Amino acid sequence: MNKLTLKIALITLLLLAAVSAQATLKLHSLFTDHMVLQRDIPVPVWGWADPGEEVTVKLAGQLVAATTGDDGKWKVMLQPLQVAESLNLTVKGKGETLIVMDVAVGEVWLASGQSNMSFPLSSDINYQKALETATDPGLRLFSSPGVVSYTLLEDVKSKWVAATSAPNTVGRFSATGYYFGRELRKSLKVPVGIIQAAVGGVPGSAYLSPEAMEASTDPGLKISAANYRRNREIVIPWMNTVLAKYKVDLAEAQKNKTPLPKYPADIIPLPFDPNKPCLLYNG
């Protein structure tokens, strides 16, 4: 082995060591500070770590463990939880610990649909009055960004916030979801979490999986599923070649301050339209 080869080998080993030293233990983004877990039913907690790694989850006196598979995924089930205002969720892997603070246990509701659900609190005629009373730490909000995808995404970029957060955070949340959660708090007197997943004007098929539509007796849903699978076979290769090259060229042009490349012609009409079947389900 000559000196150059030896030097390359040593650098490679150092890079691999640096990568392996990075934190690999991760929770799904639903598990953030201020989250709410549903009471009185088994609670799944899941995430990622190194393949074959043992992960332990501790909450409310329970301690459960799981070992990741070859894909690095892990999942545990907690026994039904009683109502709680503020707990800490501790997740441990090999040499790593994650702590999710201020976890509540109560009622969790999904606020999904179209514009009547996505309509923001800031646009409501009673927004200022609602803002003045948005001081309830027991009401927590989680907003899905409405991402579209041709493949099933494993995570979502968002986090829980308490209703006492900054006005612009509460203001962007669903007005219907916020008022509904506030009324639940008054009547049930337990922590309430509202998960918003709503995009204006989309059909129900956008939120359905292709498997669900194919299993339906509705011929229209079966056609929608077939359309999704046909589009997917066309769009994904296009994304991995033509669109990927465009993004590289765009970054290079922005870096060098040269004329920007022209966006490539869509391979199908409006490929990333949230109205298309399954795309919001995947995202």
Q: Which two tokens stand for residue 258?
A: 């040269």
Based on the fold, state whether residues 72 and 95 are members of the same structural domain.
Answer: yes
**Are residues 218 and 177 part of one domain?**
no
Do residues 187 and 211 both lie within one domain? no
Residues 191 and 81 in one domain: yes
92-116 tens-digit pLDDT: 999 899 999 999 999 999 999 899 9
In the block, tokens 């707990």 appear at: 87
Same domain, 44 and 145: yes
Distance CA 88, CA 34 (A): 10
Residue 11 has pLDDT above 50, yes or no: no
Within a domain: 20:
no
Residues 85 and 174 in one domain: yes
Is residue 67 a contact partner of residue 74, using CB atoms and an 8 Å limit?
yes
Selection from 118, 272, 113 nearest residue 203 by Cα: 113
Q: Is residue 144 part of a domain?
A: yes
- Domain boundary at 162, 181, 201, which? 201
- CA separation, residue 70 to residues 48, 93, 97, 234 (Å): 11, 16, 21, 30
Q: How does pLDDT run across 236-247, given as a tens digit for each residue?
A: 999 999 999 999
Residue 14 lies in a domain: no
Q: Give whole-number Cα distances, 115 to 10, 119, 120, 194, in Å.
A: 57, 6, 9, 17
Has residue 37 been placed in a domain?
A: yes
Do the domain assignments include residue 11? no
Encoded tokens for 85: 């205002």
Residues 174 and 212 in one domain: no
Q: What is the pLDDT of residue 132?
A: 83
Q: Domain containing 118 — which CATH number?
A: 2.60.40.10
* Domain identity same for 278 and 224: yes
pTM: 0.83
> Looking at the predicted structure, is the pLDDT value of residue 2 above 60?
no
Q: Is pLDDT at 13 greater than 60 in this prediction?
A: no
- Does 196 map to a domain? yes
| Closest by Cα among 175, 116, 185, 100 to 143 | 175
- Across 49-58, 157-166, 183-192, 237-246, least confident range: 157-166
Last residue of one domain, picked from the residues 201, 230, 258: 201
Statement: residue 12 has pLDDT above 90 = no
Question: Does 175 lie in the same domain as 58?
Answer: yes
Q: Which of 172, 201, 230 finishes a domain?
A: 201
Domain that holds residue 211: 207-282
Question: What is the per-residue pLDDT across 262-277, written as a single tens digit (0 to 9) for each?
Answer: 999 999 999 999 999 9
Same structural domain for residues 196 and 100? yes
Query: pLDDT tens digits for 23-44?
Result: 599 999 999 999 999 999 999 9
Dist CA 188 CA 168 (whole Å): 27
- Least reliable range by pLDDT among 34-38, 52-56, 144-148: 144-148
Distance from C-alpha of 3 to C-alpha of 137, rounded to nearest angstrom: 63
Sheet of 73-78, strands arranged across: 26-27, 43-48, 73-78
- Residue 213 counted as domain residue: yes
Q: Are residues 66 and 122 in the same domain?
A: yes
Number of structural domains, the chain?
A: 2
Residue 193 lies in a domain: yes
Q: pLDDT confidence of 1, banded at 50, 70, 90?
A: low
Examine the domain organization and report whether 49 and 186 are in the same domain. yes
